[in-house]
């Protein structure tokens, strides 16, 4: 299991466009990937669940990854939060 | 009537009122396991058909979809294939034995309610997305009907409850010149798509909408959020003129927005915007601004009963920082007193308020309040390239004192382990004549200057800018004011610090070449003035501007100077 914390640096947080991109990214892996905000955890296979966390710019979240391809998944998710998110 | 203007521009046209048809619950329950598994299969097939329909829309070249449209369609595909949505609906079919039509309607209604109740305005605006998903699935449960294929006459203004994203995307909008809706917000789809297509729109009109009938003449101001139904001729004429002015400005902007502000002979000029809060940030970049040259913080302190606490201030500055795309944002510490009063901060009436207890003078006296603002700005500096600027400085001790308090603010944050950017740049407004005349001295203490021409002008000429009897004296083209500005720019260059100008003069097309000739390369103004100033910059040379400056500075009165400059700008 890999866990990493991120601070959301995009002004609008995880709104529809970045949320769509994140859900699509996660689909490429077999690992179970979840997102945690405060004490709520949801699996990253549901847009509705992800949006219901209402993640805003400046919020801190954790990503939890468990499965065979967790190392690759962690790299991809890392790139998403550190680089791509600000451009979406 | 008044609504929320979400897509700017003026439109004058004929109303077309669209009523939406609502799905109805049947109340029929499923009888056995066969009907349940048939219901689930029916649902899954409808979802696949709905996804295919979106795919067809995406590939339809006749629709000329833009990036915004495609992003909305992609999000809809994710909603349709959402496992949570499927789980909820299957649960209703298997456990509550609802037929698939009713299961979809109730599940969608629940989700719409959850989203509508969210605190975040943007997420609330996603409720129509979910409604739309429901409509798409229901549509495919029956034998599929054609979509929103109504044709409109040229000059149609659409009047509707709210417009579902799918309708908005596939609608034949070539002839649509405006949208007016009952519901909606700045981030609703009607708003986003109308903006992306440049069609004026007013949303959130509420029950006033019932006043509009088919074929009414409607005048729509998408900038101010106003709608006039069958107005009188003078109103129509007024808005025709406004429409022309808007289109001229919009055209200019379109041509210039992504062109860098550089002179014809290649000198880069930085055009920044003056703002009062996060709400102004969209206009900054929308008009081609490259950052914020003046973030007035007074708005945060007004219309309330007490001073905002550090956390509230931090959130306010952070919001701007997050929206600044890494571009510089100059935050001016609070500039109250003078004409700006706070009811909860009982400042006594003064004989000469502009020469009295105001701005940095208050801050250095009430360091308890000042340090809270500095700490809040420092904390927000983690989220963007913020710089701190002190207003109304009149001597070097004030700068040194303010910097000492800034060091204290940093020490307190360090002590509490709160992160901030330790290298935040510090600058001052040059708006008092004594500061302008001693620019060479002050330059050694700070990272940048920003010239505030409004106060500099009234202090230099001893002319109250609020007094109507002496407006002829309040004159920024007076050689005395121009000499001070030129001196400040020269001293900043000599001491290798940055200098900008953020008063009204920055937005005055008559002054642009003169200021460029003085060596100014940073102008900060209200965002909507940027395109016109940029237009002057890219069509002129710095070398020519220097010549213009030399000539103007040799003239002995402002009338001659203004005539000379206007003559050049008109060419």
Give the best-scoring range by mean pLDDT among A43-52, A54-63, B6-15, B416-425.
Answer: B416-425
Judge: B78–A45 Cβ closer than 8 Å, yes or no: no
What does residue B523 show for φ and ψ, rounded to 5 degrees? -120, 135
Instruction: Find, in chain A, the residue whose alpha carbon is nearest to that of B74.
Output: A20
Mean pLDDT value of segment A29-37: 92
What CATH number has the domain spanning B254-431+502-570?
3.20.20.60
Q: Chain B: give the shortest CA distance to residue A41, in Å.
A: 14
Q: Chain B: give the shortest CA distance to residue A71, in Å.
A: 25
**Model pLDDT for residues B49-70, shown as the tens digit of each residue:** 889 888 888 888 777 788 888 8
Q: Rounded to an integer, what distance in angstroms lies between the CA atom of residue A18 and that of residue A10? A: 9
Every domain range in chain B assigned CATH 3.50.30.10: 1-235
pLDDT of residue B258: 83
Q: Which domain, by its residues, includes A56?
A: 2-87
pLDDT of residue B245: 85
Query: Total structural domains in chain A?
Result: 1
pLDDT of residue B145: 46
Judge: B85–A11 Cβ closer than 8 Å, yes or no: no
**Model pLDDT for residues B476-517, shown as the tens digit of each residue:** 999 999 999 999 999 999 999 999 999 889 999 999 999 999
pLDDT of residue B150: 63
Residues of A with CB under 8 A from a CB of B: 9-13, 15-17, 19-20, 23-24, 45-49, 51-52, 54, 56-58
Spans in chain B with pLDDT lower than 50: 144-148
C-alpha distances in angstroms, B125 versus B131, B187, B223, B330? Answer: 11, 6, 20, 32
pLDDT of residue B466: 76
Judge: B84–A49 Cβ closer than 8 Å, yes or no: yes
Q: Domain with A45 in it: what CATH number?
A: 3.30.1340.10
**End-to-end CA distance of chain A, in Å?**
28
Question: B1-235: what CATH class?
Answer: alpha beta
User: In sequence order, what are the beta bridge partners of B4?
Assistant: B203
3-state secondary structure of B7: strand
Q: CB-hemisphere CA count at 13 Å for B148?
A: 21
Every domain range in chain B assigned CATH 3.20.20.60: 254-431+502-570
**Model pLDDT for residues B145-201, shown as the tens digit of each residue:** 444 456 788 889 999 887 777 777 777 777 889 999 888 777 777 787 788 778 899
Judge: A48–B82 Cβ closer than 8 Å, yes or no: yes
Q: Pick the range with the lowest mean pLDDT from A2-6, A14-18, B400-404, B445-449.
A: A14-18
pLDDT of residue B148: 47
What's the per-residue H, E or C state across B419-454? Answer: CCCCCCCEEEEECCHHHHHCHHHHCCCCCEEEECHH
pLDDT of residue B431: 96
User: What is the ipTM for the molecules in this complex?
Assistant: 0.85
């Amino acid at each position: 299991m890999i866990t990493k914390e991120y601070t959301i640096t995009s002004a609008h947080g995880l709104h529809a466009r970045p949320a769509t991109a994140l859900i699509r990214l996660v689909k490429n892996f077999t690992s179970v990937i979840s997102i945690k905000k405060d004490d709520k955890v949801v699996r990253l296979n549901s847009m509705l669940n992800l949006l219901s966390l209402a993640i805003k710019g400046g919020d801190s979240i954790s990503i939890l990854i468990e499965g065979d391809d967790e190392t690759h998944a962690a790299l991809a998710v890392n790139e998403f939060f550190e680089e791509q998110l600000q451009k979406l | 009537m008044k609504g929320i203007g979400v897509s700017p521009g003026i439109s004058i046209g004929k109303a077309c009122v669209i009523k939406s048809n609502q799905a109805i619950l049947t109340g029929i329950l499923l009888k056995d396991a066969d009907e349940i598994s048939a219901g689930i299969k029916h649902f899954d097939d409808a979802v696949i058909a709905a996804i295919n329909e979106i795919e067809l829309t995406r590939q339809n070249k006749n629709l000329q979809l833009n990036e915004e449209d495609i992003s909305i369609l992609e999000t809809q595909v994710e909603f349709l294939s959402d496992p949570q949505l499927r789980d909820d609906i299957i649960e209703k079919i298997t456990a509550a034995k609802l037929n698939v039509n009713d299961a979809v309607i109730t599940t969608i209604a629940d989700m719409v309610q959850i989203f509508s109740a969210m605190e975040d305005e943007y997420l609330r605006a996603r409720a129509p997305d979910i409604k739309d998903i429901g409509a798409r699935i229901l549509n495919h449960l029956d034998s599929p009907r054609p979509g929103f294929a109504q044709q409109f006459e040229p000059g149609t203004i659409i009047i509707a409850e709210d417009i579902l994203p799918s309708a908005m995307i596939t609608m034949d909008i070539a002839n649509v010149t405006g949208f007016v809706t009952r519901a909606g917000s700045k981030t609703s789809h009607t708003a986003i798509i109308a903006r992306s297509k440049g069609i004026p729109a007013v949303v959130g009109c509420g029950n006033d909408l019932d006043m509009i009938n088919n074929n009414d003449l409607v005048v729509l101001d998408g900038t101010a959020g106003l709608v006039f139904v069958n107005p009188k001729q003078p109103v129509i004429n007024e808005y025709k003129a406004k429409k022309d002015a808007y289109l001229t400005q919009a055209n200019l902007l379109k041509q210039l927005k992504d062109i860098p502000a550089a002179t014809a002979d290649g000198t880069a000029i930085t055009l920044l915007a003056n703002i009062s809060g996060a709400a102004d940030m969209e206009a900054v970049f929308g008009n081609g601004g490259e950052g914020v040259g003046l973030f007035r913080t007074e708005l945060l302190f007004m219309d309330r009963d007490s001073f905002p606490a550090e956390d509230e201030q931090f959130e306010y500055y952070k919001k701007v920082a997050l929206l600044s795309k890494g571009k510089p944002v100059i935050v001016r510490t609070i500039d109250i007193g003078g004409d700006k009063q706070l009811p909860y901060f009982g400042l006594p009436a003064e004989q000469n308020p502009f020469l009295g207890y105001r701005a940095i003078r208050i801050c250095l006296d009430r360091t308890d309040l000042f340090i809270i603002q500095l700490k809040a700005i420092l904390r927000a500096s983690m989220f963007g390239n913020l710089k701190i600027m002190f207003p109304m400085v009149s001597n070097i001790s004030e700068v040194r004192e303010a910097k000492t308090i800034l060091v204290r603010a940093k020490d307190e944050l360090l002590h509490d382990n709160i992160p901030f950017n330790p290298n935040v740049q510090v600058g001052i407004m040059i708006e008092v004549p004594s500061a302008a005349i001693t620019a060479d001295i002050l330059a050694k203490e700070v990272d940048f200057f920003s010239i505030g021409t409004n106060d500099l002008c009234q202090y230099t000429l001893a002319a109250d800018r609020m007094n109507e009897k002496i407006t002829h004296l309040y004159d920024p083209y007076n050689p005395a004011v121009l000499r001070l500005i030129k001196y400040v720019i020269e001293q900043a260059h000599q001491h290798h610090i940055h200098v900008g100008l953020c008063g009204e003069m920055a937005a005055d097309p008559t002054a642009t070449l003169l200021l460029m000739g003085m060596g100014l390369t940073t102008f900060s103004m209200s965002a909507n003035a940027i395109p016109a100033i940029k237009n002057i910059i890219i069509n002129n040379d710095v070398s020519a501007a220097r010549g213009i400056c030399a000539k103007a500075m040799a003239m002995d009165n402002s009338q001659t100077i203004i005539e000379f400059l206007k003559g050049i700008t008109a060419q």
